[in-house]
Amino acid sequence: MVKRQTLIGMSLLVMLALGSSAALAATRTVTIRVQGMTCGGCAMTVENALKSTDGVEEARVNFKSGRAVIKYDDRKVTLTRLREVINNTGFFCDLESAPGKRG
């Protein structure tokens, strides 16, 4: 009886651990190249648009490097949507790194 209770308890712990890992797996980080930015104001425009997008947890945009680093929840927003948001600010973007990195 004690072994069975221990086994059930351990099974529950494993299930909880796997469940939290799955929740964390939804956070991704991607770098997108943004073309056409000429100043910090351009970068802020893109950054603010990204930050106001549901599912974006963090966004850093640098006009000098021409890159946007975006941490996002892939259950709430897609890469296609992130690119649309950037393009809607008047700049052109291109995917630079694969979205596999967990946040």
- What does the alpha-carbon distance between residue 38 and residue 64 come to, in Å, rounded to a whole number? 8
Q: Residue 5 domain-assigned?
A: no
Structural domain boundaries enclosing 87: 26-102
CB 36 within 8 A of CB 63: no
Residue 71 has pLDDT above 60, yes or no: yes
Predicted TM-score (pTM) of this structure: 0.70
Helix (H, G, I), strand (E, B) or coil at 101: strand
When pLDDT is averaged across residues 37-43 and rounded to a whole number, the result is: 96
**Least confident residue range of 19-23, 32-36, 91-95:** 19-23
Residue 18 lies in a domain: no
- Whether 1 is in a domain gets the answer no
Give me the CATH number covering residue 47. 3.30.70.100
57 vs 96 pLDDT, higher one = 57
pLDDT at 97 over 80: no
Residue type, 58: E
Residue 15 lies in a domain: no
27: pLDDT strictly greater than 60: yes
